[in-house]
């Protein structure tokens, strides 16, 4: 009987040599006359252990990692195909503390299954949500989502059920479902992991959304920086069409839903939903004025649901197990789980899916293991490049939308980037202004001109020039950006800039006591 070995095809694992590991294992197995089946799975999300090779044994899947190509011969010598002892043997994958402590709902299959095998998807509870939805009234599908308490996981945290309900109740011959897969925030990679590791769950979630609101066409707007996800999604969509899960007559229900992946072209602002729709229409990604809301007049002027990857990937589970099941996880008005992403200067970077409510400190130290450099963690940016920098004194804040809002910070898409004490926070503030200047769509003046002016101002400040004049000017400029910008790019760039200034005034050459906000 042949032995099954899982080696991730996740691009993060591939970036550390997973393809070479897979090739070497295949070659050596052949040389030694051992029959093996290699399955390329998604990543379990423990990137410091990648390439994580798993061998199926009677006791369960045994993990070896981090494996490099030159370790493979030694692994065969140690009889790893039967779970043999080796310095890289980590024991049962699902008993690893980092993994075992998680509550994986949206990521239930990621890392377990062959991402582009429909059979594997079906065996692991796939399409159960859609089967339920096909027998439900549209309003009942929307109600399940509303009951679940699901809020948009892209960053704005708007209740998904309310958005769907608006589109459902707006009459139109044509409606659209758009998946915002323009995951451009630094420190975030959960969308990528789902699309590479379990693309069918996104296809299913979008199909359910289409049934719920009466949309027959869906688009996944995928950033061009994700070629691996592009291939995985296209493979899954092709298989879903073949098997009748997409098309004009989904599973003989008489209902239609079509799905296509469209590539972005490196513009960060296209993650903003109205800019994204302009881009899908073939235009420059300029932000639109709101109202009208996309739910009423969106893509090509039609009612449109725009949801993030994680929001849509959470839908199949909610339709399978019910809104209440999902709602029972979480705290306050933050219901369900959030796939958090530990990045930057941490020992144990990776994906941690948990119910809302854990503190930042638990994430950074219990999961993240502290800094990779071994130096003290000085600052943490949560929620991408438009998120605030948090100092050590705020590490006990629980991960919850409202708790973060109360300290003038954002949870956003759940990306957490740690910096050790070598970071210069004035340089990070300058970078935030630079990034805003590079990515501004140019439609509104505060963002277009304010970002460049902010960059110049930070240059002055970093050279210590006229701080008594320039620091108040920076605050005033941030006030204009915050209140006068059309979208979150200009409107939230002050979060990293001002939080850096408020929490780390010394880096700006300012005395703590004179730095009054």
Partner 1 sequence: MTEPNTTQAVQEVIAALKDKPGALLPILHGIQAALGYIPADSVPVIAKALNLSRAEVHGVVSFYHYFRDTPPGKHTIYLCRAESCQAMGSAELEVHAKHKLGIDFHETTENGQFSLEPVYCLGNCACSPAMQIDEAIYGRVSASTFDDIINELEKSA
Alpha-carbon distance 385 to 158, whole Å? 20
Cβ proximity of 38 and 7 under 8 Å: yes
- Residue span binding partner 1 (CB under 8 A) among the ranges 283-291, 359-367, 398-406, 456-464: 283-291
Query: Between residue 409 and residue 468, which ones bind partner 1 under the rule CB under 8 A?
Result: 415, 417-420, 423, 428, 431, 435, 438-439, 441
SS (H, E, C) 425-450: HHHHHHHHHHHHHHHCCCCCHHHHHH
Query: Between residue 299 and residue 338, which ones bind partner 1 under the rule CB under 8 A?
Result: 300
Strands 330-331 and 334-335: antiparallel
Q: Which runs of E-coded beta strand occur in 248-394?
A: 258-263, 304-308, 330-331, 334-335, 337-344, 350-355, 377-382, 389-391
Helix, strand, coil fractions of the chain, as percent rounded to 5: 45, 15, 35
* Minimum CB distance to partner 1, residue 332 (Å): 28
Question: Is residue 165 close enough to count as binding partner 1 by CB under 8 A?
Answer: no
* Minimum CB distance to partner 1, residue 194 (Å): 11
* Minimum CB distance to partner 1, residue 344 (Å): 4
Nearer to partner 1, 73 or 427 (CB): 427
* Minimum CB distance to partner 1, residue 11 (Å): 5
Ramachandran angles phi, psi of 305, nearest 5°: -90, 125
Burial per residue of 270-293, b for 16 or more beta-carbon CB atoms within 10 angstroms, e otherwise: bbbbbbbbbbbeeeebbbbeeeeb
Alpha-carbon distance 194 to 179, whole Å? 13
| From candidates 20, 128, 143, 228, binder to partner 1 by CB under 8 A | 228
Strands 389-391 and 377-382: antiparallel
**Residue 495, token pair as written in the block:** 């979060």
Question: Is residue 50 close enough to count as binding partner 1 by CB under 8 A?
Answer: yes
| From candidates 280, 338, 355, 364, binder to partner 1 by CB under 8 A | 280
Residue listed under structure tokens 């994700």 = 226
Strands 377-382 and 415-420: antiparallel
Nearer to partner 1, 101 or 283 (CB): 283
Nearer to partner 1, 165 or 304 (CB): 304
Question: Is residue 198 close enough to count as binding partner 1 by CB under 8 A?
Answer: no
Question: Is residue 268 close enough to count as binding partner 1 by CB under 8 A?
Answer: yes
Cα-based torsion angle of the residue sequence 73, 77, 78, 80 in order, rounded to the nearest 10 degrees: 60
Question: Is residue 370 close enough to count as binding partner 1 by CB under 8 A?
Answer: no
| From candidates 36, 56, 136, 263, binder to partner 1 by CB under 8 A | 263
Question: Is residue 273 close enough to count as binding partner 1 by CB under 8 A?
Answer: no
Site track for partner 1 across 167-196, x = CB under 8 A: ----------------xxxxxxx-xx----
Alpha-carbon distance 160 to 308, whole Å? 10
Q: What is the DSSP letter of 336?
A: S
**Residue 118, token pair as written in the block:** 């429909």
Nearer to partner 1, 124 or 375 (CB): 375
Strands 415-420 and 337-344: parallel
Question: Is residue 345 close enough to count as binding partner 1 by CB under 8 A?
Answer: yes
Question: Is residue 102 close enough to count as binding partner 1 by CB under 8 A?
Answer: no
* Minimum CB distance to partner 1, residue 270 (Å): 8
Ramachandran angles phi, psi of 391, nearest 5°: -85, 170
How far from chain centre, in Å, is Cα 216?
A: 26
Nearer to partner 1, 48 or 121 (CB): 48
* Minimum CB distance to partner 1, residue 184 (Å): 6
Site track for partner 1 across 373-392, x = CB under 8 A: --------x---x-------
Give the 3-state secondary structure of residue 474.
Answer: helix
Question: Is residue 403 close enough to count as binding partner 1 by CB under 8 A?
Answer: no
> Which uninterrupted H or E stretch holds 212?
helix 199-213
* Minimum CB distance to partner 1, residue 227 (Å): 5
Question: Is residue 158 close enough to count as binding partner 1 by CB under 8 A?
Answer: no
Ramachandran angles phi, psi of 121, nearest 5°: -60, -45
- Residue span binding partner 1 (CB under 8 A) among the ranges 10-18, 95-103, 199-207, 246-254: 10-18
- Residue span binding partner 1 (CB under 8 A) among the ranges 75-83, 123-131, 275-283, 395-403: 275-283
Alpha-carbon distance 305 to 294, whole Å? 7
Question: Is residue 166 close enough to count as binding partner 1 by CB under 8 A?
Answer: no
Question: Is residue 258 close enough to count as binding partner 1 by CB under 8 A?
Answer: no
Alpha-carbon distance 328 to 335, whole Å? 7
Q: What is the DSSP letter of 286?
A: P
Contact footprint for partner 1 (CB under 8 A):
11-12, 14-16, 47, 50, 183-189, 191-192, 224-228, 262-268, 279-285, 300, 341-345, 349-351, 372, 381, 385, 415, 417-420, 423, 428, 431, 435, 438-439, 441
């Amino acid at each position: 009987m042949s032995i099954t070995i899982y080696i991730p095809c996740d691009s993060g694992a591939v970036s550390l040599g997973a393809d070479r590991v897979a090739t070497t294992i295949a070659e050596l197995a052949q040389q030694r006359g051992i029959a093996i089946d290699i399955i390329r799975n998604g990543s379990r999300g423990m990137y410091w252990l990648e390439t994580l090779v798993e061998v199926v044994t009677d006791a369960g899947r045994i993990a070896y990692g981090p494996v490099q190509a030159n370790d493979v011969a030694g692994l065969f010598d140690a009889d790893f195909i039967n779970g043999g002892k080796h310095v890289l043997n980590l024991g049962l994958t699902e008993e690893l503390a980092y993994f075992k402590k998680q509550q994986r709902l949206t990521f239930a299959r990621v890392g377990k299954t062959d991402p582009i095998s429909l059979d594997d998807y079906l065996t692991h509870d796939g399409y159960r949500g859609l089967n339920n939805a096909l027998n439900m009234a549209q309003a009942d599908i929307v109600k399940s989502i509303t009951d679940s308490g699901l809020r948009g996981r892209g960053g704005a945290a708007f209740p998904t059920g309310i958005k769907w309900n608006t589109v459902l109740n707006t009459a139109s011959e044509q409606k659209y479902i758009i998946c915002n897969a323009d995951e451009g925030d630094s420190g975030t990679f959960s969308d990528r992991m789902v699309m590479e590791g379990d693309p069918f769950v996104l296809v299913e979630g979008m199909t359910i959304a289409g049934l719920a609101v009466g949309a027959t066409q869906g688009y996944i707007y995928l950033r061009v920086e994700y070629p691996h996800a592009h291939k995985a999604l296209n493979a899954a969509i092709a298989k879903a069409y073949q098997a009748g899960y997409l098309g004009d007559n989904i599973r003989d229900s008489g209902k239609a839903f079509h799905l296509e992946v469209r590539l972005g072209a490196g513009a960060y602002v296209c993650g903003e939903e109205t800019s994204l729709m302009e881009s899908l229409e073939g235009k420059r990604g300029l932000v639109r004025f709101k109202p009208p809301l996309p739910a009423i007049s969106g893509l090509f002027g039609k009612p449109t649901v725009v949801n993030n990857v994680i929001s849509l990937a959470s839908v199949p589970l909610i339709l399978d197990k019910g809104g209440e099941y999902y709602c029972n996880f979480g705290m306050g008005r933050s219901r369900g789980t959030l796939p958090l992403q530990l990045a930057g200067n941490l020992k144990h970077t990776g994906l941690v899916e948990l119910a809302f409510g854990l503190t930042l400190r638990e994430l950074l130290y219990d999961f993240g293991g502290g800094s990779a450099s071994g130096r003290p963690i000085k600052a943490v940016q949560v929620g991408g490049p438009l998120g605030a920098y948090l100092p050590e004194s705020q590490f006990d804040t629980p991960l919850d939308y409202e708790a973060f809002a109360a300290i003038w910070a954002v949870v956003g898409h759940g990306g957490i980037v740690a910096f050790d004490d070598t970071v210069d926070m004035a340089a990070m503030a300058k970078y935030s202004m630079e990034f805003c200047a590079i990515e501004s769509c140019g439609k509104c003046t505060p963002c277009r001109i304010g970002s460049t002016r902010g960059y110049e101002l930070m240059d002055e400040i970093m050279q210590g020039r006229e701080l008594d004049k320039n620091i108040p000017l920076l605050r005033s400029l941030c006030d204009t950006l915050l209140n006068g910008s059309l979208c979150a790019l200009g409107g939230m760039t002050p979060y990293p800039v001002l939080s850096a200034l408020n929490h780390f005034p010394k880096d700006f050459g300012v005395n703590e006591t004179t730095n009054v906000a």
